[in-house]
Structure 1
Amino acid sequence: MTDKTKGGGKPPPADTVVIGSANRPAPRAGALYVTPEWIDATLRMHFEKGRNSGVYLPHPDVWTFLAARINRFVNQPPNNHQIGRLMHDVAKRQKERKTLDAAARILERDRDQFPDLEAFADFQRQWAIAISVLRFPRGAADNALDQLSRPVHPQQSIRGWAYVAREVLPDLVVFCVRGRATVRATPGNAVIKTLMDILRIIYFDEKLPSVNTVCKSVSTDIEKYKAISKSHPYDRETWESLLHP
């Protein structure tokens, strides 16, 4: 790692924030798109101001998918009503998951009663297939690695900004922690400052909550992704154990 990739630096000029593309839909009046370079420079600026020395951020290209996610929200920032409906559907899916798991346990008991004989082999296979179908995740709300699978505070579940913050946070936390950064849900933290900058770009024409309120909203997520950042990125079993201890 060279000094060129070390945390700290100045943000890019304002004209680098907007990405020109003939295929991109027209943004809302006054809206700006972000680039991976903007995310990189904003983080470096906040780390430098916070005197968080020894931070090594990755190449700006690593923020490509996060920039695309942010720009999707710039185009259509979720409002409270939309997130309220989403959370209602999430609660419905999670209630259905309990029903499906109960059905799977019944079939597991039935399967275990089959004698271990060749004559019952087809029955055992059929029951095993049925159980696997019942156990299979059904969408984001039923996926242990997705943030929607974790219940949120009732007062925040209907707020658009809280959903957006939790959607853009994972990459910021994981890559910064792996770059030896200190990441906490505190107002002065560089990741929180960057998150606030992102929220201001998305909800530039609305009043956002205080930084303390945002910190409280994402504190559990930050701790979750800090733990994930220290695990092997392809070890699903480890990830699920961290998400659902």
Structure 2
Amino acid sequence: MTENKKGGEQSPPEAVVIDSTNRPPRRPGARYVTPEWIDATLRLHFKKGHNSGVYLPPPYVWTILAARINIYVNQPPNNHQVGRLVHGVGKMQEERKILDAAARILERDRDRFPDTEAFAEHRRQWATAISVLRYPRGAVDNPHDQLARPVHPQQSIRGWTYVAREVLPDLVVFSVRGHATVRATPGNGIMKTLMDILQIIYFDEKLPSIATVCKAVSKDIEKYKVIAKTPPYDRETWESLLQP
């Protein structure tokens, strides 16, 4: 890395406990992370991987990600919870197919009315109904949300898979934009950082091997790498990359 500190390599700092009167009681043994911890952990792992020329953003960029991780520290999703969530998502996705089919029927009906002033009100009513049928219904219809993207059936019921895919986007996008080499491989800095985060969240459970986690998130990593290289103003291209 370009921002090496004198005195040799440093170990990442311990996750810092953030006291707050608004925060629910901590799980026994739980630790919270700070933006500075995320920054230091990424830098350490990229440095150990001999990934020179990395320009990571300032620590405050990780503020939202740190807050999200700390929510999971308080309430780590378990397999049962995520399984029920994914089951509900499957039902909503089936309903989306029905709604889209109904919208196509109404589109055909609308097109039977000539596009003239005499039929303008009819066409407007049909257009309104079509718009309602196609309107997104929560996370399942939101291309930005991981629930709208397919996952392997054996992975969809695992809490750690859901959490990993939730914390990856910022890690991948900012690291790629900082010229880091990002891959879904056990030796990569992103994967080592992700494992550190999962171990903080699921500190009282046995996690799978890093190779298993790599396999679970490999498609997500490749997708976010492309997004990281897409100009922010190109919204249409960016959204198309998020489609299943």
Aligned counterparts of 1:52 and 1:12: Cα–Cα separation in 2: 17
Q: Provide runs of 4+ in structure 1 moved above 4 Å.
A: 3-6
Show CA shifts across 1:4-55 (max 9, x none): 599x9745543x6211222222210000000011000000000111110000
Structure 2 CA distance for aligned equivalents of residues 234 and 164 of structure 1: 28
Is 1:100 aligned to residue 99 of structure 2? yes
For structure 2, which runs of at least 5 residues remain unmatched after alignment? none
TM-score in terms of structure 1 length:
0.93
Distance 2:4 2:47 in 1: 13
State the partner residue of 1:66. 65
- Aligned residue number for residue 176 of structure 2: 177
Residue 10 and residue 136 in structure 1: after superposition, are their counterparts in 2 closer, same or farther (change >3 A)? farther
Percentage of identical aligned residues = 77
SS in 1 for 2:106: helix
How far the C-alpha of 1:179 sits from its partner, in A, is: 0.5
What TM-score does the superposition give when structure 2 sets the normalisation length? 0.94
Which residue identity lines up with residue 86 of structure 1 in the other structure?
Answer: L
2:20 aligned counterpart, secondary structure: coil
- 2:86 and 2:156 in contact (8 A); partners too: yes
Deviations, residues 201-238 of structure 1 (Å, cap 9, x unaligned): 00000000000000000001001111111112353311
Provide Cα deviations, 1:46-97, integer angstroms capped at 9, x if missing partner.
0111110000001111111110110010000011000100000110111011
2:35 equivalent to 1:33: no
Please provide the CA RMSD for this pair.
1.8
- CA pair 5-112 structure 1, distance change in 2 beyond 3 A: farther
Contact 2:146/2:165 (8 A) holds in 1: yes
Return 5+ residue gaps in structure 1 as ranges.
none
Secondary structure of the 2:153 match is: coil
Q: Is the 8 A contact 1:57 1:175 kept in 2?
A: yes
Once the two structures are superposed, the pairs formed by residues 106-117 of structure 1 within 5 Å of their partners are 106-117=105-116
SS in 2 for 1:33: coil
